[in-house]
Amino acid sequence: MDRQQVRTTWEKACDELIRRRESAGYWRGCLCSSPLATATAISALAVYSRSLESKGGSFSPTMAESIQSGLRYLLATQRPDGGWGDTERSLSNIATTYLVRAAIELGGKAMVPEDALRRADQYIERQNSENGLRQRYGRDQTFVAPILTNVALAKLCSWRSVPQLPFELAAFPQSLYRFLGLPVVSYAVPALVAVGLARFHLGPKGNTVVACLRRAVTPKCLAVVETMQPQSGGFLEAVPLTAFVTMSLSAIGLAGHSIVQKAVRFLLSLQRSDGSWPVDVDLATWVTTLATNAIAAGEYPGWMNLVSLDWILGCQHRDFHPFTGADPGGWGWTDHSGSVPDADDTSGALLALANFWQKGDAETRRKILPSALLGLDWLVRLQNKDGGWPTFCRGWGKLPFDRSAVDLTAHAVRAFHTWYNLLMGQPPVDLAGGRIVFDELWPDAAARRLGRLENIDRALLPRLKRSISKGVAFLRQKQEHDGRWLPLWFGNERLPNEENPVYGTSRCLMAYVALNQQHNPAAEKAIAWLLQAQNRDGSWGRSASEEPPRRDDETSPDAPGSIEETSLAISALASFRDNPAVPAALERGLSWLTWNIENGNWRIATPIGLYFARLWYYEDLYPIVFSVEALGRYLRHCDQEEKT
C-alpha cells in the first residue's frame, strides 16, 4: 500500500480519538445501551415500588415514568425472532429474553401489545425455557439464580425452579471464600446474599436446622453486603448486579434498608434519555489506558500533553478493597467508587505509565515510580499457581470468570517485561525520594503498608523474571493445537461457541513480540492461524450486521469482518513482516481497514466485549482505539525497517 495513505488515515483516526477525549485529559468512552440491563432495572424499580406500596407508601410518578420509558425502549429493541439480545446489535438469547419478559410482567404488561408478548413467549419455548437457560450457563449459578429469581418474582416460574444459594457462607471471613466452594464467582457475593435471602423467604422451606441457622446469620450477611456497597450505591458500578440485589431485598420487605435506598438512587441516576440503561457506568480507566498506549504506539507528536498522567495515577486503588479484599496497588476499569482492581486494567495502566516513563523527565519518573513499583508488586502477587492470571482473586479458579485466562496473562507478561527492561540498567532508585512521594500519594492505612517500598524494589526484578517465565509457560500450555488462543473477557457471538480466537491470538502474539520471541514455535503457529483466519475481503472476525447470519454463513470467509478484530490482527502481525506470508496479508488487511475508515464505517462498534457472566457489550471507543494502534504500529515498524 501507499504508506502516505496509511499515514493520512492514521492521522484521521488519531484526530477522531483525540476529539473524544475529555478536557481533563482522559477518555470516558460510551458503553452501549443494554436491553438486559434495562430489563433488570425495570424489574428492580417495580418490585421496590410495590414493596413500598404494601407498607402504605405511594407509587412515585417519577418512578412510574422511569419504568414506562424503559418498557418503551424494550419494545423498540425486540428482534424479528421475538427475542432480545444483550445489546441492540446482538443476537437474541434466552437470558435477556427471559429478563425482558419478567420486566414486562412486573413493570406494566398492559402497555405491551399482545403480539410482542406472544412472540417473546414463543422464542422462550423454542429455546427450551428454563432448561435452555441452565444449559447456557452450566454449573455457574452467578447468573442463573438471579435470572430465575427475577422470573419467579414476575410469577413466570415456580420458586422451586430457583436454586437456593448458600448465602450463609458470606458470614465467614472473606479470606476463606475461595475454600468454601461458592456456586458463584468471586465478584458476586452481594447477589449470593440477596438472591439467596429472596429464595429462602419466598420459596419452599427445607431443613429446619439449616433454616434456623440462616435466620441467625442474616444480619451478619446483610452487613457484609453493606460493607461491599460503594459510595455510589452501585455494586461494581454494574446495573444488573445492583438491580438483582435491589429486587431481591425489596421482595422480602427490606425496601427501606440503606442498601436498597442507595442502590435505587444509583439505578435512577444511570437511566438514559431513551429509557435505556447501560450495563455499567463506564470503562473510563480501561479506555484511557488503551487510548494512551494506542497513540503512543504510533508515536503521535505531543501525545504526553494530551493525556493526564495524574488522572491515571489517581485511579490506582489506595487502600484495601472491601469487595475482594485486594491490597492497595491495582487499577480497576473506572474511576467511580464501585470499581474493583483487576489484572487486565492494572496491566494496561502499567503499560501506560511505561510510555510516560520512556518519554518523561526525571520529575515525571519520580512521580511514576511509587505507583509503578506497587502496581507491579500487586500484579505479581495475583498470579495463580498455574502461571496464569485471574481477573480479581488469586486461587479461585473453579468457575469460568475466576480462572486464569490467556488474555489477562499475555497482558501481564507484556507489562512485566516492559518494566523489567526499564528498571534494568537504570541508576540506583532514589528510595528516600521515592518514599516521600509514596507518603504524599498513599495516606493512612495504605501508607503504613507501603513502608515496604525498599523491600519491593530489592526483590522485584527477579520476581518479575520468574513471573514472566511462568506466564509464558501457561500461554504455551493453553495454546490450541491449531495455534489459536481463546480469551476470557472477549468473544464473538457470531462464531462457534461464541469464542473470539482473533482477539485471544492477537493479544498473546503481542506478548511474544514484547519478549522478542518472534521465532518461538508458539508464535509461529499463532501467525499461521491468523493468516488462515483472514477473510477473503482482507478483514478478520465477524461484524455486527443488522440481521443474524445464515447458519451456513457463520464461518464463511465471505462474511464481513469487524473493525476491532481486523485492527487487533494487524497490530499483532505488524512485527512479523520478515515472514514471507505476512506482508500480503497485512496489505489486504490495511486496505480493508483504511477503506472503512475513509468511508466512515469504522464508528460502528461490534459487541465483542464480555461483561460478567457472558453478558455482551460494545464500547464506542473500541474500533477507534484499536484502529489507531494498528495503523500506528504498522507505520512505526515500517519506519524502523527503513532506518535499519
What the block records as the C-alpha cell of 206 is 427445607
> Quick one: pLDDT at residue 453?
55
- Residue 641 in this model has a pLDDT that exceeds 50: yes
- Residue 432 in this model has a pLDDT that exceeds 50: no
Question: Which residue is associated with the grid cell 472491601?
Answer: 322
> Quick one: pLDDT at residue 546?
39
Q: Residue 331: beta bridge partners?
A: 316, 342
- Residue 557 in this model has a pLDDT that exceeds 70: no
- Residue 198 in this model has a pLDDT that exceeds 80: yes
CB 593 within 8 A of CB 563: yes
Please state the length of the chain. 644
User: % helix / strand / coil in the chain, to the nearest 5?
Assistant: 65, 5, 35
Segment 3-59, tens digit of pLDDT = 899 999 999 999 999 999 999 999 999 999 999 999 999 999 999 999 998 877 666
- Residue 368 in this model has a pLDDT that exceeds 70: yes
How far is residue 135 from each of residues 22, 274, 493, measured CA to CA in Å?
43, 33, 16
Q: Measured at the alpha carbon of residue 514, what is the angle toward residues 579 and 409, in degrees to the nearest 5?
A: 115
Segment 257-273, tens digit of pLDDT = 999 999 999 999 999 99
User: Which residues lie closer than 8 Å to 599 by C-beta, 6 or more apart?
Assistant: none
CB 46 within 8 A of CB 67: yes
> Quick one: pLDDT at residue 497?
87
Q: Maximum CA pair distance of the chain?
A: 80
- Residue 185 in this model has a pLDDT that exceeds 80: no
Which pLDDT band, with edges at 50, 70 and 90, does 436 fall under? very low
Which pLDDT band, with edges at 50, 70 and 90, does 435 fall under? very low
Weakest mean pLDDT among 346-355, 386-395, 452-461:
452-461
Weakest mean pLDDT among 437-441, 453-457, 458-462, 519-523:
437-441
Closest CA to 425 of 391, 401, 461, 454: 461
Closest CA to 164 of 200, 124, 130, 212: 200
> Quick one: pLDDT at residue 554?
45
Closest CA to 418 of 478, 320, 350: 350
CA distance 375 to 159: 45
Q: Report the pLDDT averaged over residues 446-453.
A: 50
> Quick one: pLDDT at residue 125?
97
Q: Report the pLDDT averaged over residues 498-525.
A: 96
CB 353 within 8 A of CB 312: yes
CA distance 463 to 467: 6
Segment 216-239, tens digit of pLDDT = 999 999 999 999 999 999 999 999
Which pLDDT band, with edges at 50, 70 and 90, does 455 fall under? low
Segment 74-119, tens digit of pLDDT = 999 999 999 999 999 999 999 999 999 999 999 988 889 999 999 9
Q: Report the pLDDT averaged over residues 550-558.
A: 46
Question: Which residue is associated with the grid cell 425502549?
Answer: 73
Secondary structure (DSSP) of 113-150: -HHHHHHHHHHHHHTTHHHHHHHHHTT-HHHHHHHHHH
Question: Hey, how many other C-beta atoms are within 10 angstroms of the C-beta on 63?
Answer: 17
Q: Report the pLDDT averaged over residues 537-566.
A: 69
At 582, the amino acid letter reads V
Dihedral angle sign, alpha carbons of residues 15, 21, 26, 29: negative
> Quick one: pLDDT at residue 457?
61
- % of the chain with per-residue pLDDT over 90: 74
Which pLDDT band, with edges at 50, 70 and 90, does 551 fall under? very low
b/e burial code for range 101-139 (CB count within 10 A of at least 16 → b): bbbbbbbbeeebeeeeeebbeebbeebebbebbbebbee
- % of the chain with per-residue pLDDT over 70: 91
Q: Report the pLDDT averaged over residues 510-535.
A: 96
> Quick one: pLDDT at residue 454?
53
> Quick one: pLDDT at residue 323?
85
